[in-house]
Amino acid sequence: MTIHREGSLVPESGIYEVIHDKKLHDIQRHEVTCIKGKRFPPCRGCGKDVTFRAVRTAMHIGEHQHFS
């Protein structure tokens, strides 16, 4: 299981679980869609203490030969 930090490049488009620093603010883990080549964003609540874990990767429609 690879963990990605805020600011690093998204390696594969897909659904990522966001893991917040519970010491800085109390928010549950949740899932977001991230796009390959963009950067994982910081959280406005815990700043750089947020990490991302791929739940399921999927090709972005703009990368698919039939839709690009």
Domain boundaries, the chain: 3-63
**Per-residue pLDDT of the chain in tens (68 residues, 90 and over written 9):** 799 999 999 999 999 999 887 776 667 789 999 999 999 999 887 767 889 999 999 988 888 899 87
6, 28, 44: which is closest to 53 by C-alpha?
6
Biggest alpha carbon–alpha carbon distance for the chain: 46
At residue 26, the pLDDT reads 67
At residue 24, the pLDDT reads 66
